[in-house]
Structure 1
């Protein structure tokens, strides 16, 4: 909500007329008092001969009263405009693959670090949207519920490592894409509001654990949730070095992205699929998503005007008191002289 205050006059022509009359009156007295035949000045000078200061003050107050009278007629007012801005933000669940294959270095420095870097930049540009995070490998975890705390999300993402999910357990190994989508969908569906709901899925493999992504897709479509899918890494299988007991490493072959199912999920929910085979392409995909999900802004303005005539009237009364005082003082002074 924004509040703007402005000052104005309802009838500015009265103000202009008052200013012109006061200026003309001042010039009239200033130049005519130089002339010996200016009777009015001689009379005033005679009346105020003992105190030239009172004479000047009397004239100043007369001009001020005249000008304030025209200000009163011009009806000054203070306008307060309240602007209510309603931004139709969206709810975003990021479904982030943390399986072992994310340490592959076909994207430098590796898939995980590239994804973290680009995601943090994406979060830093989000406004008015709630963002949640689901991490998954062999099982999904709702790591961050929907929130506006973008700094916390960025900090959390920057600390992510492969062992954030303890994949020493066989139950947590693998790639449960369908489960991750279901957890994200449930989190979005629980929110009873009119905000658009979006899932951004980042994965570098094919589903080999849990619910079939095809079944998850049916549920997502019923909930009306849009899904953007991002395949991380270059095409084809790749190998990674996994640590083993005793400080040794083991070379393991991992399959590539199942582009067919990712494309199907995206197209049938109104999103799109993008392949991030470099940090630049990754960044471009997320920038495109941010552009497509721009929010509409609805603005409502309410303007209230309050008249300031009462304040002007009070100033006129305050100016009237010294005028009365000067008049009485001069009259008493003239009587005492006699």
Structure 2
């Protein structure tokens, strides 16, 4: 796996052929000027220490060094890198209700869509914290283990829908208990759970689950999605022409249960946020979470690309060293082992 971190610098490589062409022109002009003084073979004998090849070699070495410098500026990257970083933050797990009632549109564009927007807003405001994601309906599942990678959190969030959990229902207590067991094993970290649901709990005792969380030092916050008057549940998400009906053929109206969500938040020493005041409520939640004491968190982060600029830099140093060692004129002490001696006729042609 290979890429350039700043590929825009590679456009500078166009300078290499331009400079090479300019150098050819100068050599041609020099050859023309020398011919004005007489026979080239005679001139060469008059200047025995002058080398016509060394300056060319030095020039192309500098040209190669320039090309490598441009590649270095483009930041070559390849391989994978595992980094261990230490940050001060908290751990937060969001439990999101994905039961069919979350498709209701009493909160626009729908309860679930509004909840996902709220989570995105929350993730955008988090700094140096860990975040995890649980989805639940009749059962609860870990969608994203606790992580510091907010981009991954948003990616997983985008794929959430009400078809993810096969068992319908609203098992808030199961979601809270699963969240309790999904935090890291590192000690001394402040933790919180945010349950986003319409509150229609039919499966278990969420109050007891919130007490269990508080006993572990984990605060529980609730965000109510929906309005007290309720709304019908679309058979197909986004389609308002067909709604779910009960056994008697009546359209099912789903209503938010604010009383239960308030009780859960009170027992969990958190806070209840109603959907009709979601923007201000999320801001308050962010402030409350920000007020929790930050602890040092050690995280391992995978990066797909690792900078490898040291290799072209090493080559540049080596090339410049060689260019410095090579003299433009022939060395009298080493003239018998001149590596740059070429056939006289070929040299005349190059001049």
**Fold match (TM-score > 0.5):** yes
Alignment counterpart, residue 199 of structure 2, candidates 183, 205, 208: 205
Alignment counterpart, residue 287 of structure 1, candidates 283, 288, 305: 283
CA distance in 2, matches of 1:254, 1:174: 15
What are the residue-to-residue correspondences of 1:90-109 with 2, within 5 Å? Answer: 90-109=90-109
CA distance in 2, matches of 1:129, 1:272: 20
CA distance in 2, matches of 1:223, 1:215: 13
1:164: Cα distance to partner? Answer: 2.5
CA distance in 1, matches of 2:168, 2:175: 14
Contact 2:199/2:260 (8 A) holds in 1: no
Residue of structure 2 equivalent to 1:184: 179
Contact 1:95/1:202 (8 A) holds in 2: yes
What are the ranges of 5 or more consecutive residues in structure 1 without an aligned counterpart? 1-84, 167-171, 300-338
CA distance in 1, matches of 2:236, 2:118: 27
Contact 1:88/1:195 (8 A) holds in 2: no
Greater Cα radius of gyration, structure 1 or 2: 1
Greater RCO, CA 8 A, separation 6+: 2
**1:170-199 Cα shifts (integer Å, max 9, x gaps):** xx01111110111001113x5232110100
**1:229-267 Cα shifts (integer Å, max 9, x gaps):** 1111111332112149xxx94434143222222112212
SS of the equivalent of 2:270 reads: coil
CA distance in 2, matches of 1:213, 1:153: 25
CA distance in 2, matches of 1:230, 1:146: 20
SS of the equivalent of 1:187 reads: coil
CA distance in 2, matches of 1:158, 1:122: 14
Residue of structure 2 equivalent to 1:328: none
What are the residue-to-residue correspondences of 1:268-287 with 2, within 5 Å? Answer: 268-277=267-276, 281-287=277-283
CA distance in 2, matches of 1:187, 1:141: 10
Residue of structure 1 equivalent to 2:209: 216
Identify the structure with the greater strand proportion: 1
CA distance in 2, matches of 1:164, 1:106: 22
CA distance in 2, matches of 1:298, 1:93: 16
Contact 1:93/1:200 (8 A) holds in 2: yes
What are the residue-to-residue correspondences of 1:54-73 with 2, within 5 Å? Answer: none
1:117: Cα distance to partner? Answer: 1.6
TM-score, length-scaled by structure 2: 0.53
CA distance in 1, matches of 2:94, 2:282: 11
Q: How many residues align?
A: 202
Residue of structure 1 equivalent to 2:155: 155
Alignment counterpart, residue 229 of structure 1, candidates 222, 242, 257: 222
Shift in CA distance, 173/151, structure 1 to aligned 2, threshold 3 Å? same
1:298: Cα distance to partner? Answer: 9.3
Shift in CA distance, 86/153, structure 1 to aligned 2, threshold 3 Å? closer
SS of the equivalent of 2:178 reads: helix
1:162: Cα distance to partner? Answer: 1.6
Residue of structure 1 equivalent to 2:234: 241
Contact 2:89/2:295 (8 A) holds in 1: no
